[in-house]
Amino acid sequence: MQNEILIAGFGGQGVLFAGQLLAYAAMDEGKQVTWIPSYGPEMRGGTANCTVIISDEEIGSPLVSHPQAVIAMNRPSLDKYEPLVKPDGVLVVNTSMVDRKTTRTDIKVVEVDANAMAEKLGDKRMSNMVLLGALLGQLGVLPMKAIEHALQVHLPERHHSLLPKNYEALHEGAMMQALSI
């Protein structure tokens, strides 16, 4: 089985980190993986997205036109990628940064006030982990333990003090109830 996931937002939101973490976790689980980042020249504030493909078999192409799942971390990302999600796919929307409802009726939409949830957890930088948790809660592409293990193994030692907050953010996101639209 092959899962194609696109994570999009702007620089500084942890878009690339969330995708890379997903790719590391899948690799550690023995899956075939591709991770393709795309970002503008700006360090913060410019557009950023990445595509992650996780498969049980060899991946034919790393390019994805219509992903099975999208995490839209801001309004421009929702506007651009909502139409591209495969029918019956999953769209996770950060309602903290999006001021409109989705229009698709043939996909599962998960609305998450990720910034507010991250702030409630004590660190606004955790919104990407909240959204990744919400995606995992709906898509089930990898077990949560795989993501936790990848965080522990691949997060630089100097950031290990953030592990408990990352785990908490992932679990909070996974518990989000989906809005079926």
Q: Which residues of 15-37 are buried (b: 16+ CB within 10 A; e: fewer)?
A: bbbbbbbbbbbbbbbebebbbee
pLDDT at 178 over 60: no
Checking 100-105 for CB contacts under 8 A at 24+ apart, the result is: 100/75, 101/181, 102/78, 102/181, 104/181, 105/181
User: How many whole angstroms separate alpha carbon 96 and alpha carbon 111?
Assistant: 9
* Residue 61 belongs to domain with CATH number: 3.40.920.10
Give the model confidence (pLDDT) of 153-166 as tens digits: 988 899 899 999 99
In the chain, how many domains are there?
1
Give the model confidence (pLDDT) of 63-81 as tens digits: 899 999 999 999 999 999 9
For residue 41, the model assigns a pLDDT of: 65
Report which of residues 40 and 91 the model is more confident about: 91
Percentage of residues of the chain with pLDDT beyond 70: 94
For residue 99, the model assigns a pLDDT of: 93
Answer yes or no: are the C-beta atoms of 93 and 25 closer than 8 Å: no
Mean pLDDT across 136-162 = 93
Q: Which domain holds residue 133?
A: 2-180
The model's pTM is 0.92
Where residue 51 falls (left for φ over 0; alpha for ψ -120 to 50; beta otherwise) is: beta
Answer yes or no: are the C-beta atoms of 121 and 165 closer than 8 Å: yes
Pairing mode of beta strands 69-72, 2-10: parallel
For residue 12, the model assigns a pLDDT of: 79
Q: How many CB atoms lie within 10 A of CB 87?
A: 9
Give the model confidence (pLDDT) of 14-59 as tens digits: 899 999 999 999 999 999 999 999 977 655 667 899 999 999 999 9
Report which of residues 46 and 147 the model is more confident about: 147
